[in-house]
Homo-oligomer: A and B are copies of this chain.
């Protein structure tokens, strides 16, 4: 489906953020992931687990069910499944058929996030996860990291990936807050490897974005670094650094030094789980941004939902007219399409 090949929805063999770690507790948490209902909770021993959210008996949502110890008792007929997905109890019969089970998903906690592997569990490989170092997450006392928002967005996930893979939008969609015209006008440096696709823009002697102007009360040019690392299939680690440019009072003074993390996880075919978090050595800055960024994220969600509406309403939506600035997004799409093609291929078949 758009913008992928017909029939291609999302790669399954990959780590996606299922939830912020702090969202997972004793209570069952329901979440749609890659068009499947999933339940997340924390076992008595503290381990976070993710299991299928649809009882195989009558399709009742297990996330709307009852927790009994570390197991889930279906809210409809009481069929009970352990955290490993195996059925442990059927109220109406003594024998539990071997076939009775739900999927238990590989789930790993790292950084602020719980990462799920929706595909073939045999292929779940933790070394494919972005490391905390790679994404600029630190456990040091001098670093402050915080989950900001979880949003359920009424648009397909790739629209959010596209958004994050092309930061030329900062000066326009977010021109009143975090971006300037130079976010688009500055050439992008790009780097891709098997784990991630990186983009950097180095801006020297550039006007500060409104947020920097406001927060630090400055009105002189700054030197900025803006970048984003896309870890396939759905995690974007961003960098935002700025300091006062040479030749101005307080030249070289560090203003912002922040990491922003966007996790984009398909919910249904046309809706998306969107997790936004931030980290910085500047604790006050982090607290300031929680409120400040709310309307900024709302702009991204607005764009996504409006575009979703347009592409589902007009007939035969024409292909986008691509620009040079779309190169990163195109590379990102190609990578996801290649992952999907590989999953769809029969053994021995070339993709």
- Which residues of A are interface residues toward B (Cβ below 8 A)? 32, 35-37, 54, 56-61, 64, 73-79, 90-93, 97, 99-100, 162, 166, 168-169, 171-173, 175, 181, 184-185, 268, 302-303, 306-307, 310-311, 313-315, 317-318, 320-326
Do B317 and A91 touch (CB < 8 A)? Answer: no
4 A-B pairs with the lowest CB-CB distances in the bound complex, closest first:
A91-B184, A78-B172, A92-B325, A56-B321
Q: How far is the CB of A215 from chain B (nearest CB, A)?
A: 24
From known contacts A92-B324, A92-B325, A184-B91, infer whether A307 and B168 are also in contact, taking CB-CB under 8 Å. Answer: no
From known contacts A58-B307, A306-B60, A315-B35, infer whether A169 and B320 are also in contact, taking CB-CB under 8 Å. Answer: no
- Residues of chain B within 8 A (CB-CB) of A324 are 92-93
- Residues of chain B within 8 A (CB-CB) of A306 are 60-61, 64
* Nearest chain B residue, comparing its CB with the CB of A175: B78
* Nearest chain B residue, comparing its CB with the CB of A54: B310
The count of identical subunits is 3
- Residues of chain B within 8 A (CB-CB) of A185 are 91-92
Task: Give the complex CA separation of A37 and B90 in angstroms.
Answer: 42
Task: Give the complex CA separation of A91 and B97 in angstroms.
Answer: 63
* Nearest chain B residue, comparing its CB with the CB of A168: B92
From B173, B181, B320, contact of A57 by CB (8 A): B320
From B60, B91, B100, B313, contact of A181 by CB (8 A): B91
- Residues of chain B within 8 A (CB-CB) of A91 are 168, 171-172, 181, 184-185
A to B CB contacts below 8 Å, 24 in the list: A32-B313, A35-B315, A37-B314, A56-B320, A57-B320, A57-B321, A57-B322, A59-B310, A59-B320, A75-B172, A75-B173, A76-B169, A77-B166, A77-B173, A77-B325, A78-B169, A78-B172, A90-B323, A91-B168, A91-B171, A92-B185, A92-B324, A93-B323, A268-B313
* Nearest chain B residue, comparing its CB with the CB of A92: B325
Do A77 and B184 touch (CB < 8 A)? Answer: yes
Q: How far is the CB of A72 from chain B (nearest CB, A)?
A: 12
- Residues of chain B within 8 A (CB-CB) of A162 are 58
Task: Give the complex CA separation of A162 and B59 in angstroms.
Answer: 12
Q: How far is the CB of A323 from chain B (nearest CB, A)?
A: 6
Do A321 and B99 touch (CB < 8 A)? Answer: yes
* Nearest chain B residue, comparing its CB with the CB of A329: B58
Do A36 and B321 touch (CB < 8 A)? Answer: no
- Residues of chain B within 8 A (CB-CB) of A35 are 313-315
- Residues of chain B within 8 A (CB-CB) of A184 are 77-78, 91-92
Do A37 and B310 touch (CB < 8 A)? Answer: yes
* Nearest chain B residue, comparing its CB with the CB of A184: B91
